[in-house]
Each structure stands twice: as structure tokens, then as C-alpha cells.
A and B are shown apart, each in its own frame.
Chain A
Amino acid sequence: MSLDKSAVAHIATLARIRVSESEKEQLVHELNKILHWVEQLGEIETEGVEPMTSVAEMTLPMREDVVTDGNRRDDILGNAPAAAHGFFTVPKVVE
């Protein structure tokens, strides 16, 4: 499997990272090299092997469905690059 420039552009869009034309060239080369290297996993027979999603051999614990934190609006907004009237603000999304 090899990536071309348009595939890299698509991945960059999915990842929401702007890349310039010259960066794309370089990424095609770098990402292909990494992908080619990881593809050696194809040598291993994994038919019937259960995918490992966690090393913790336990089911995730459940807790009471109660509020344990909250009322910290100003704390949460304190790090926002832009906030107004108790809300995060972003560029206009609706015309």
C-alpha cells in the first residue's frame, strides 16, 4: 500500500492539520517509509487471535451515576484563547 500526494492531503484534512505543497511531498516519502516498515506484521499469522485492547485484565468499574464535580465554569474558561459571556467563542459557523 503506497500513499500518494492526494492521499496525504486527505489524511491531513481528516487530522485537521494544514500542510503546504512542499510538506506534502516530504510526508508522502516519510509516511510511506513508516507504513512500509510496519507492514512487516503481514508476515505473522493472526487468524483467530483476539485483538488486545487493554493490558488491564479487568472490566471497567461502574460507579454511582451522581455528580462528583462541577460548577467550575470560570476555571474551565480560564485557559480559553477566546471566551465571552461564559462561553467559548469560535469563528462564525452559521451564515
Chain B
Amino acid sequence: MTALTRLTIAEARAGLAKKEFSARELARAFTAAVERAKPLNAFITETPEKALEMADASDARRARGEALPLDGIPLGIKDLFCTKGILTTAGSHILDGFHPPYESTVTQKLWDAGAVCLGKLNMDEFAMGSSNTTSYYGPVESPWRRPGDNRPLVPGGSSGGSAAAVAARAVMAATGTDTGGSIRQPAGFCGIVGMKPTYGRCSRWGIVAFASSLDQAGPMTRTVRDAAIMLGVMAGHDPKDSTSAPLPVPDFEKALTGDVRGLKVGIPREYRVDGMPAEIERLWAEGVEWLKAAGAQPVEISLKMTKYALPTYYIIAPAEASSNLARYDGVRFGLRVEEGQSLDDMYEATRAAGFGAEVKRRIMIGTYVLSAGYYDAYYLKAQRVRKLIANDFKAAFEHCDVILTPTAPSAAFAIGEKSDDPIAMYLNDVFTVPVNLAGLPGLSVPAGLSSEGLPLGLQVIGRAFDEETVLRVGEVIEKAAAFTAEPAFTAG
């Protein structure tokens, strides 16, 4: 029998249903794998006892004939989701000791569906980063290595702990969040599947806020089918999040028919950016061929505003972050540093000690672009350009059903590379950020290896609330790519 940690959600679901193994056996296999994965630093908090407790409850349900859709499936949770009574840090010093008195809607839905919690996964501080090197709890190492080169690589970010843990077989799947690419880029770097659903598909309630008009939760899994299964549980209207869409949740798994005949696949010419490695161009062209062979029809489209998406994002996201992060004041939760006499002294000392360099930079940029005299020139301007970016997609989707692009303009890089230049780091998200600005669903599927032996992903972008087509196309790419490469390090 395949090692339990190698199973997909779909396989584990079948095995549990046939009583080939118990949820407890599955949980034990994974808690041991979590232990072995320690060198990756993928977890901030491990919850092995809770996992076994939840697994026992799952076995009891199944014995009573009351098994739930995700019963017994062991998951890791990005440490941005509030989990009742379990330390929740957002990768920041400023949330020291924060034990939420409530559970986020998305994680509650997962537990209500029978899933088992293995722990809380490391991430860039407040989800700000593309390399998982800004966490107060230290960088996460990718389980991948360039053959013949032992330098540790970044797993991507901000959901770097999630991506590393899924790729290393330390969790069966994980939650992530994506504000500018934080699910798709690390999924691409680690050779796994990552989906950012349409804005409003999953509730944001109980997720530590970064940029509220962009943030969205999604699944990070080893297969497209697993992403469909997990998204079906995570999605749905929530009265506690006024931006969550009051729409029924389709059966995403049913959408995986393998039939993409006649589907129009948009290829945006502006995504051929300067300096993109030829091998990524080639993989992209190969992706087009795979879909053509399956009966889809490629069409060239134009997304004229592509080059302005990143600068737009780096006004809007910091502006929203500066407002959202105003709550960390040393009064209600987390860290407090008392220096000087006044309340202002306490605020300033707490925030100076509690936030890392990248978070401070973004808060300050956000504060500036929202400040009197500069609001129109920066923030309002960015909101207008954002509208043009969204209009580009709207126009493109009159000529195509999905859009195919690379996930990122490079494979993973070494820890420490690109860290001295914030803008070089920001460029990682050139293909993912426009999707957040327009609020659309995007899926990264592992499609091949770079000449250095590292995973490369392709991204499928869809119309708002059409995750079904995105997943269907993603599965066709997954089958054609037949990506079976494994990282240098696996924990199970």
C-alpha cells in the first residue's frame, strides 16, 4: 500500500470510506511527518494532540455512519486564520501570545466537514512577501533543491509554509491566502496546486486582514481534484463578511469532466515580459499545445494595462494595510512595549518593536499615499487605474473563456537573493497581481521543471465565479503535464 502521507485527499477519502485505514492511523502518519519536516521551519505551531483527538472523533462519526465530506483529512492551516484557543501570529512579533477567542469561518467550515488540524503554518509577516523570508519565526525552506547545489531555496510567499508542507508530504493539503499571488506563486515554486478563488467566494471573517479589497482564502493541494474538493468546503456565503457573495456553491468536483473542446483560451501578449527566461516561454507554449490537443482553441488577447498592475497594487495594498494594521496598538492583544511616559510613546515603541522592516515600509507607504495632499495623486489615481485593469479583463473575456499564463516569471531563488531590493522582490507577482486587482479566480498547476530542476507553474484565470471552468482546464493541463517530480526532501 502507498504510504498514507502520499495519498491525495480523493484517495484518502476512498481509503477511509473502505475502512482500509482509520483517521487515527492517517493522523499518526502525518504527525510523524510533521516532526520529520522540522528542518523546513514550515510550522509556527504544531498541534499533534489536537490532530489525534479530532481523528478519533472522525473515526467515531464514521463508525456511526455519519461521515462528513472531509472526514479524517489532515490539513495544515496558514497562521493568518484565527483558530479558537490556538496561537495565531500572522508571522508577526506584534501578535505575540494571541489566542483568538473565535474561529475563522473558513477553518470552522473545514472542521465542520470533519477535517483534522495538524497545526499552523509559517508565512511572510502579515502575508507581505513573496519568499517567506519576512516571518518573525524565521524563513521557511523549500523542500526543493537545485541538483548539485545545496543552498536552501525559498518556497515562495506569502503562503510559503503551506506550500513547503504540502510539497514535502507533511500535510495532505493546506489553506492559504492570496492578496497578490500568495497562494499561486508559492504553489508554482513548490510544484503543487494552488487556487485563489473569486473575491467573495470564501469568507474573510476571522482571517487577519492585510488588504481587504484583495485578500482571498483558497486551497493548496497536490492535485486539481483535491483543490476542487477542498474549495467546495471552504466556499460559501457568510453573513459575517459583507463582501462574501450570496451565491450557491457549485459541486466543483463535478466540473472536472476533462472536456475542454471548443473552449477559447486567451493568451495575453503583454505577459511576454522582458527578461523572462526562455524556458518559461517554452512551457507556456507547451501549455497552449496541450489544451489545443484536448480540443480547446487558443486566441490571442490583449491586457494593455498589465505593466501598471504592480505599481497600482503597491499603492492600494499598502494603503489598505496601513489602515488594517492600525489596530496593533499594544492595548487589546499581542505585544506591548512600554517606553517613555505617554500613550503615544507606548504605541510608537510597540509598533517599532512589533513590526518587521517590510511591514513598516508598507505601512509607511500606505500612510503617505492616504495622507492629506497626496490622496488624489496616489490613491485615487491607483483606484482609477485599477478600474482600467478590471476593464481589460472584462473585454478579454468577451473573446475567451479562460486565460493561460505562466504563474511567475522565474523558478524559486535562494534564501537571501533579491532581499536587498524590495522592487525586485515585488516583480515575482507580475502575473498574479492583476488577477487580485480584478477579483478573478486564478489557479496554479505544476507544469514542468526548469533547466535547474525546479518546478514551474502555469496559471489559469477565469471569469468571476467561474471556478468550475478554471478547475476543468487546470485538470486537463495537470494530466497533460504529468508532473511527477518530487522535491529533494520529503517527510513522508
- A residues contacting B by CB (< 8 A) are 1, 3, 8, 11-12, 14-19, 27, 30-31, 33-35, 37-42, 44, 46, 49-56, 58, 60-61, 63, 72, 75-76, 78-82, 88, 90-93
Contact = CB atoms under 8 A, between A and B. Distances in A.
Interface stretch (B72-80, B259-267, B378-386, B470-478): B378-386
A19 B101 CA distance: 33
A1 B311 CA distance: 16
Interface stretch (B119-127, B160-168, B325-333): B325-333
B338 A91 contact: yes
B103 to A, nearest CB: 13
Nearest to B366: A15
Given A40-B308, A72-B101, A56 B200 contact: yes
Interface of B: 97-101, 199-200, 213, 239, 242-243, 245-246, 305, 308, 311-312, 314-315, 322, 326, 329-336, 338, 341-349, 351-352, 355, 360-361, 363-365, 367-368, 371, 374, 377-378, 380-388, 390, 422-423, 437-439, 464
B355 A79 contact: no
B331 A17 contact: no
A61 B242 contact: yes
Contact of A56 (B243, B346, B349, B381): B243
A38 B336 CA distance: 34
A31 B388 contact: no
Given A46-B385, A51-B380, A55-B438, A15 B315 contact: no
Contacts of B345: 91
A51 B387 contact: yes
Given A3-B368, A11-B368, A79-B99, 9 more contacts: A15-B363, A17-B363, A19-B360, A46-B388, A49-B385, A55-B390, A56-B243, A78-B99, A79-B101
A5 to B, nearest CB: 13
B333 A14 contact: no
B315 A52 contact: no
Nearest to B360: A17
B34 to A, nearest CB: 26
A88 B334 CA distance: 13
B97 A79 contact: yes
A58 B244 CA distance: 10
Contacts of A14: 367, 371
Contact of B364 (A27, A44, A78): A27
Contacts of B312: 38, 41
A34 B365 contact: yes
A11 B343 contact: no
Of B239, B314, B355, B368, most buried by chain A (CB within 10 Å of CB) is B368
Contacts of B361: 27, 30-31, 34
B384 A31 contact: no
B311 A38 contact: yes
Contact of B384 (A3, A49, A63): A49
Given A46-B385, A88-B331, A40 B311 contact: yes
Nearest to B439: A55
Contacts of B246: 61
B346 A90 contact: yes
A13 B351 CA distance: 11
Contacts of A72: 101
B385 A81 contact: no
Nearest to A19: B352
Contacts of A33: 422-423
B352 A50 contact: no
Nearest to A14: B367
Contact of B351 (A15, A30, A34, A54): A15
Nearest to B363: A15
Given A18-B349, A91-B341, A91-B345, A52 B311 contact: no
Contacts of A61: 242, 246
B390 A34 contact: no
